[in-house]
Structure 1
């Protein structure tokens, strides 16, 4: 009897000692996802879908808390916020980090049209290019996927744009960097204004319109002011990426890593398709609203593309001045462009 009680006590002690550890291993790993996008923005919607896919492919062994609308930090700080582990995962605007991620900005260049094309090109470049991967690794983060919008268009308040010559002298909100270089080639006067401030800038007459894509114009309600918009220009695509803190990544089991990567692959494919679907919806909506959409005729494509000739050399030279392999990355980019767009 004493022996039985001794064994029972020993078993109880072992359970008491190890149960917290067993329970702990069964608890999901909690991660924080930081996003600059407000609720309802297309990229917010895709973040929610991405998070759901991670939950699905890790069998809920990972639980993600979503912090949209710059709750964990300003958009311009999210690379560092993820690097420091304040957020485990972050959505970043690649263009906001032209100084830190200059090679990645190749995805802005006007060598694709749709978001599906651009997203596949950029996603493939991230997977294949050691230079692109090293740029992220330098900041202690891993890129899970990359995506782009469709090419930007010209939207105006008072003046319709039906010819290349109509663009000359227009003061338009642009996104800076390469977008300004593209705009200047058309004779546009670029005005650097944050997207969130563009509505008021139009209202006050500071700008005559913007260089933006259809869904984003709707997201920021700029269609309240816009009367005319082109369809078919190549004013640059807008790249983004989802990054993961490298130290946190290394603490996750290979099984869970694979689940996250599977979710990233699915979300990455869906991201471009979603933007293209929104383009179709937005064109219909704008047409009903009375906005005049000018579809660039196929026979005029050469004329509209002519100002862009050699734009890649500006990107390459800017990087080579910093002793960065701009030409190699551009050549890798174009190889993928030619694979995707046949």
Structure 2
């Protein structure tokens, strides 16, 4: 007969097998939604299953009930199991603990342990922040950003910048392009002049302001009321599925997009991030830290796929609601590009960090596999580094 020690060994082995199986199942599912599963052999973590684990209160920029927040909640529930109990994520929706534009301060000061933020909101904290996520007429599809963060070393540089705010950057999270919902038809570049439009600040708002738009900065929770009351004429916000869930089709009659070659002119890859307070991060074992980075990469693929599936179902609903989709012309896109490129360099030259990060962007955009720009496009501009 087995003694009690043998029974405990068998029980622990069974637990390890269950956890490893669960982790592999999640990662295989995520890999099926995107690229490669390089982390299927991740080791079991510690002996933390007997405790509640280290609590990470992570506030998202997503509002409750949206497909984005539901996907975040589902991922958060699995992390405790997938880290063998060492990490317990407590998800919170936009504005529930700190304001949307105060997430960085909240994480730095320890009010919360982590953020799942629209990375564009960093622009108000440091000039380099405008290059954490997409900006007008630059890197235009998700894999461009994977190349910039990966092959060209952007991840390490950005993590150093997060570190100045006492944070660890676990990775970017793919979301979607952004749409402009308008109460009036804007059928050409010139129609934007004089309109009051909500934008997320930074280089995006300044590019539109340079062509005559009256821009305003509002958190996501205030966009619908502003459109409903008519205090703004139009608003940039996220993609079709979430915007439909938020009711934008009830208060606007038009969606304004770029030409079919460039569906979104101003923010074609609206990234989010997962970042953790550095003091909390350092409490995790090195094995768990590695697994958390892998889980964020897997989450990015799952999140992007869930958003795109929801988008596919949302587009017909706009048509049924009588919302007209307006595509600007190639000429409009060319004129917007002329306005955008000077702003790239203006923001890049605000400080050394911004210039060095934008240099990584320039190298990526000139990569022959990407070919967003050529030397001729930027021959009249320089970086002050």
Q: Which range, TM-score by smaller chain?
A: 0.7 to 0.9
Give the alignment's Cα RMSD to 1 decimal. Answer: 3.0
Residue 139 (structure 1) aligned to one of 162, 165, 177: 165
User: Equivalents in 2 of 1:37, 1:103: separation in Å?
Assistant: 23
In 2, are the aligned partners of 1:37 and 1:70 still within 8 Å (CA)?
A: no
Report how far residue 126 of structure 1 moved.
Answer: 9.7
CA contact (8 A) 1:156 1:208 kept: yes
Pairing of 1:105-254 with structure 2 (within 5 A): 105-106=130-131, 107-110=133-136, 111-114=138-141, 116-117=142-143, 120=146, 123-124=149-150, 128-157=154-183, 159-213=184-238, 214-231=240-257, 232-237=263-268, 238-254=270-286
Match of 1:16 in 2: none
**1:130 to partner: Cα distance:** 4.1
What SS class does the counterpart of residue 172 from structure 2 fall into?
Answer: strand
Is 1:281 the equivalent of 2:313? yes
TM-score by length of 1: 0.79
Q: 2:360 aligned with 1:332, yes or no?
A: yes
Equivalent pairs counted in the alignment come to 315
Report deviation, 1:262. 1.6
Gaps of 5+ in 1: 1-21
Q: Write the deviation string for residues 241-280 of structure 1: whole angstroms up to 9, x where unpaired.
A: 1111222222211221222122111012233333333333
Q: Does 1:263 pair with 2:288?
A: no
- Aligned counterparts of 1:331 and 1:319: Cα–Cα separation in 2: 8
Spell out, residue by residue over 1:216-255, the C-alpha distance to the aligned partner (whole angstroms, 9 max, x if none): 4324322111111123231225332111122222221122
SS at match of 2:112: coil
| 1:56 CA drift (Å) | 4.2
**Tell me, what secondary structure is at the counterpart of 2:272?**
strand
Q: Which residue of 2 aligns with 1:46?
A: 71
Shift of 1:325: 3.6
Q: How far did 1:186 drift? A: 4.4
Match of 1:14 in 2: none
Q: Deviations over 1:114-139 (max 9, x none)?
A: 5x446635653896354322210011
Largest Rg, 1 or 2? 1
The alpha carbon displacement at 1:142 in A equals 0.4
Could you say if the C-alpha distance between residues 222 and 289 of structure 1 is closer, same or farther in structure 2, counting changes exceeding 3 Å? same
Change (3 A) 1:320 1:215: same
Summarize deviations over 1:97-122 as a string: whole Å, max 9, x none. Answer: 324343132123132445x4466356
Distance in 2 (CA, whole Å) between partners of 1:144 and 1:126 is 17
The TM-score normalised by the length of structure 2 is 0.71
Residue 99 of structure 2 corresponds to residue 79 of structure 1: no
Q: What is the SS of the residue equivalent to 1:278?
A: helix
8 Å contact from structure 2 (residues 199, 215) kept in 1: yes
- Which has the larger displacement, 118-127 or 58-67? 118-127
In the alignment, what sits opposite 2:53?
A: 29
What stretches of structure 2 of length at least 5 have no aligned partner? Answer: 1-45, 258-262, 372-385
- Match among 309, 316, 324 for residue 338 of structure 2: 309
Is the Cα contact below 8 Å between 1:118 and 1:150 reproduced in 2? no
